[in-house]
Amino acid sequence: MRNMHHAFVIEARAEEGIAIAQEWAESELGMVIKNNPDISILRYGLFSVEDARGVAEKVAGAPFVGEHKVVVISANRAYHEAQNALLKLFEEPPRGTFLFLIMPSLGGLLPTFRSRVQILKGAVPRLRSGRQEIEGAAEQFLAASKEKRSAIIKKLTSGKDEEERRELREEAIAIVNGIEVVAYMSGRSTFRHRELLGDIQVLRGYLHDRSAPVRIILEHLSLVLPKNLV
């Protein structure tokens, strides 16, 4: 077999990215997709260090029926610690193993992780009313008045336990990603829009730190949103 990459990242929604990974395995490796025990699909919300350890266990071992094994990891977001935990695995997968990480946005991908993978472009999301479709949480945040945004922010920072706070942080990241999509699709290049895109890059990085103040981050985002964004 010709020399090829063994670790990939796909920027796409979960099912679109999974389909791309499966098509790659079929065309490049000649693998049968349906009911193949050597193709594993792992779905996560916010990918944690514990999840990374589980992936490492899944990857270990030889293929069951063929020469190759494909492990597809789909996640909405990945903690920086979790990416670090995957570094060696993605740099040197077991012989015959091919790894795919699928995320809807690669904005939070660490440079050290990015340098170890090949980026595959995902399918372009559908257009709706002349702009890219985004998650409902981001749409709601953009359309809300100042008072309603304050209520949304309060809800997103009211988790009672670690699991609930994790889920709410994931929703906050979805809002940030969705607003970034709208800003890009608007086609505007004013100073305020360029400044917003720069702020989003910084704020998203903060949101991956579990100790970061989600309320302050979202309040700042609300303040810097241009009035003519949508």
Q: What is the DSSP string of the chain?
A: -----SEEEEES-HHHHHHHHHHHHHHHH----TT-TTEEEEEEEEE-HHHHHHHHHHH-S--SSSS-EEEEEEEEEE-HHHHHHHHHHHHSPPTTEEEEEEES--TT--HHHHTTSEEEE-PPPPEETTEE---HHHHHHHHS-HHHHHHHHHHHT--SSHHHHHHHHHHHHHHHHHHHHHHHHT----HHHHHHHHHHHHHHHHHTSTTS-HHHHHHHHHHH--TT--
Where b means 16+ CB within 10 Å and e means fewer, 149-174 reads beebbeebbeeeeeeebeebbbbbbb
Return the pLDDT at 187: 65
Structural domain boundaries in the chain:
7-121, 127-224
Return the pLDDT at 206: 81
Return the pLDDT at 72: 97
Return the pLDDT at 163: 79
Return the pLDDT at 138: 80
pLDDT for 136-158, tens place per residue?
678 788 888 889 999 999 998 88
Return the pLDDT at 132: 41
> Residue holding tokens 């660490």?
110
pLDDT tens for each residue of the chain, 230 residues long: 445 679 999 988 888 899 999 999 999 999 999 999 999 999 998 899 999 999 999 998 889 988 999 999 999 888 889 999 999 999 999 999 999 999 887 877 888 898 889 988 654 343 333 334 444 678 788 888 889 999 999 998 888 888 788 778 878 887 887 887 777 766 666 778 778 888 887 887 788 777 888 899 999 999 888 876 76
pTM: 0.58
The whole-angstrom separation of Cα 18 and Cα 22 is 6
The CATH H-level (homologous superfamily) assignment of domain 7-121 is P-loop containing nucleotide triphosphate hydrolases (3.40.50.300)
Return the pLDDT at 36: 95
